[in-house]
Chain A
Amino acid sequence: MLTILFDGVAYGMLLFVLACGLSVTLGLMNFVNLAHGAFAMAGGYAASALMTRYGVPFLVTLPAAFALSAALGVVLERTLYRRLYRASHLDQVLFTIGLVFMAMPIANYFLGDQPQPVRVPAFLSGRYEFLGIGVGVYRLFIIAVCGAIAGGLQAFLIGTRFGAQLRAAVDDQRVASGLGIDVDRLFAITFALGCGLAGLGGALAADVVGGVDPSFPIKFMVSFLIVVAIGGSNGILGALLGALLLGVLDVAGKYYVPSIGAFIIYAVMVVTLIIRPQGLFSRGGGR
């Protein structure tokens, strides 16, 4: 029972790191980015390639995955995404679906359709019994890393000047730019950060989901969107709680009632959206 809760929390934390970038993109730019999973896939592939081809240690591949996905994010944001900030949601959906459709064959072409493993080093694998709870070391590592990221992000948003500007821009973009905040620059940096975190999440998740393969962006797109939909799109906390809820429900559902599989999380999402269209943890209002 507690083991399942523990695994669920670990999975939820992972989902948080994967999806928080999407949550910010949506909250800040009101941009529906269905291609977010492609950045996670890029991170996973980067980690895998660095490890298997160049023998880079696992802990070094994580920041590398972050950096690569963030760089990719900057390039795409500056060249393509920024043109569509003012476009309709339909155009954004079409554009990002198009990107996903392109990302998957590209990955397939260069890396093949077999799942690429990210091997966790010996000191992070294994499992201990602790007060009757089966604790996987790697799961614990995930919780620690993702928890630190969540805490760091929250501190960054609350404590720094950049964070204050970001929050102001999320609340009201026009007034923020009227006050002399360079919203365009904020967008670029935030987008890159979100993509980087997705890449880091992809690298961390590879072992849990059995390797990165070209269908990754589609497989996890729905999970990301559910996190954002349940959590509401403003604030780190909403996304974190949404991700934890989803992670625990998903793991518990698959363990206790495997026959109905993912039914539970979809049902929870639809019911949530019926009751609170802006998400469970949003501050009301919204757009």
Chain B
Amino acid sequence: MPAGAVAAHLNRKARWRPAEIVFWLAIPALIFALPSRALLINEILLAGLFALSLDLVLGYAGIVSLGQAAFFGVGAYGAGILANAGIGEPILGLVIASLIAGVLGLVTAPLLLRGSDLTRLMVTLGISLLLGEVANANPWATGGTDGLSIAVKPVLGLFPIDFNGQRNAALYSLVVLFILFALARRLVQSPFGLSVHALKENRLRSGALGISAAARFVTIYAIAATYAGAAGALVAQTTGLVSLDVFDFHRSADVLLMLIIGGVGYLYGGLIGAAFFIALRDGVSSATPEYWEFWIGLPLVVLVLVGRERIGAFFARAVATGGASLIPGAPP
């Protein structure tokens, strides 16, 4: 293919498809249509942002992480401590807290360049557990086991996002999510993103083409950490509470499940999976509050045994064709 044709092909792939535009317009419509469910929608949006950060790590860089909660927690506590220290403006707090998480990602990423999958799993898990212990041991800053309750000022001084402003909170989360999503979308279609993808597909061959693996992994990991930090900060700001469970293993595992349910490596997977996961959890836990985990575990086991590529590919195709393939019998 001549260079011009390649560029044209990539540009065509980068264009926003109608289904995507509908998807993004549907969310604010949903928030306005169901104001009583704004809290739940907000939770889904933020879980989706968190899953998006993991998608960058897992789907694009190919690193199996069980410790994405580390950055989520740092973002949450960062936003909480900043708000209580007098920087009550949410956007400023969000930016600073996300950047702190990003720096942590930048610092810890080199640790993941060596060893096997298990080593990486353990290092990521270990770091999040370590941070959890640090938060637990410093109650003067984090509130310890009591948690940290924070009072957040209105966004831009106009829109309160506290308990009385749940719709504002959901819209605030949506705007941030959309901006970060659009950036991520641009990133993975840039030459940098394509080279990261090439590394994941075939590391040896990409190396032979002159693509340096280490620098790219570190960069994308740090970006993903910033995203996770933003998700944590938004959760802290919109719920007004940070507790030690932000660093829990459960949180890292749940976000992995969301991403897997929605499908890895096409950015929308995290959002779809988060909606599915939280709706499922909400429905099942009101039916059987004690045993809801079973109904999360069972589909997961089945998913892996059946082959998660098949189900992921189904959703990916649905997005690509604008939902046409969801209708049985329609041509793909």
Distance from A219 Cβ to chain B, minimum over Cβ atoms (Å):
10
Q: Which of A63-71, A82-90, A151-159, A177-185 contacts B (4 or more CB under 8 A)?
A: A82-90
Asked if residues B134 and A89 are in contact (CB atoms below 8 Å), the reply is: no
Interface flags for B263-305 (1: CB within 8 Å of A; 0: not) read 0000000000000000000000000001111101111110111
Is B116 in contact with A102, judged by CB distance below 8 angstroms?
no
B126-156 near A? 1/0 per residue, CB < 8 Å = 1101100110110000000000000000000
A225: which B residues are within 8 A, CB to CB? 121-122, 125
User: Please, which residues of chain B bring their CB within 8 A of the CB of A83?
Assistant: 305
Residues of A within 8 A of B305 (CB): 80, 83-84, 95
Partner of B115, one of A102, A104, A105, A278: A278
Q: Mark B58-102, 1 if CB is under 8 A from A, else 0.
A: 100000101000000000000000000000000000000000000
Q: B256: CB under 8 A from chain A? A: yes
Contact of A93 among B121, B134, B136, B301 (CB under 8 A): B121
- A222 near B121: Cβ-Cβ < 8 Å: no
Are B137 and A270 in contact, with the CB atoms below 8 A? Answer: no
Chain A residues within an 8 Å CB radius of B119: 229, 273, 277-278
Residues on the A chain within 8 Å of B260, using CB:
94
Q: A89-B64, A269-B126, A278-B119 are contacts. A106–B133 as well, Cβ < 8 Å?
A: no
- How far is A102 from B121 in the complex, measured between Cα atoms in Å? 22
- Say yes or no: A105 contacts B294, CB within 8 Å: yes
> Residue B249 at the A interface, CB < 8 A?
yes
For A263, the closest partner residue in chain B by CB is: B133
Please pick, from B118, B125, B130, B300, the residue contacting A89 in the complex, using a CB distance under 8 A: B118
Q: What band does the interface of chain B fall in when counting residues whose beta carbon is under 8 Å from A?
A: 35 or more
Interface centre among A84, A225, A277 (most CB of B within 10 A): A277
Indicate if B111 sits at the interface (CB-CB under 8 A).
yes
A159 CB, min distance to chain B CBs, angstroms: 29
Taking a contact as CB atoms under 8 Å apart, the answer to whether A108 and B117 are in contact is: no
Residues of A contacting B117 in the complex (Cβ-Cβ under 8 angstroms): 32, 89-90
Q: How far is the CA of A80 from the CA of B300 in the complex (A)?
A: 13
Distance of A287 Cα from B111 Cα, bound (Å): 17
Contacts of A263 in B (CB 8 A): 130, 133-134, 137
Chain A interface size range = 35 or more
> Quick check: is B241 within 8 A (CB to CB) of the other chain?
no
Report Cα–Cα, A76/B115, bound state, in Å. 29
Let me know if A102 and B294 touch, CB within 8 A. Answer: yes
A32-B117, A95-B304, A260-B137 as given contacts; A108 in contact with B125, CB under 8 Å: no
User: Is B297 a contact of A32 with CB atoms below 8 Å?
Assistant: no
The answer for the CA separation of A97 and B121 in the assembled complex, in Å, is: 13
Given the complex, which residues of A lie within 8 Å of B126, measured CB to CB?
226, 266, 269-270, 273
Contact pick for A101, options B127, B130, B133, B294, CB 8 Å: B294
Q: A91-B304, A97-B300, A269-B126 are in contact. Are A277 and B114 (CB under 8 A)?
A: yes
**A218 near B249 (CB under 8 angstroms)?**
yes
A101 touches B300 (CB 8 A): yes
Q: How far apart sit A99 and B118, CA to CA, in the bound complex (Å)?
A: 18
CA distance A98 to B260 in the complex (A): 12
CB distance from A103 to the nearest CB of B (A): 8
Instruction: State whether the Cβ of A49 lies closer than 8 Å to any Cβ in chain B.
Output: no
User: Is B122 touching A102 in the complex (CB atoms < 8 A)?
Assistant: no
Nearest A residue (CB) for B126: A270
* B116–A277 touching, CB < 8 Å: yes
Is the pair A95, B301 in contact by a Cβ cutoff of 8 Å? yes
Q: Is the CB of B133 within 8 A of A260?
A: yes
Contact of B301 among A99, A108, A113, A260 (CB under 8 A): A99
* Apart from A98-B296, A98-B300, A259-B137, 9 more pairs, CB < 8 Å: A32-B121, A84-B304, A97-B257, A104-B293, A228-B118, A266-B133, A269-B122, A269-B126, A277-B114
Can you show 13 pairs from A to B with CB atoms below 8 A apart?
Answer: A80-B301, A80-B305, A87-B304, A94-B260, A94-B300, A94-B308, A95-B301, A98-B297, A98-B299, A101-B297, A104-B294, A263-B137, A266-B133
Nearest first, the 5 A-B pairs at minimum CB distance are A101-B297, A277-B115, A98-B300, A102-B297, A105-B294
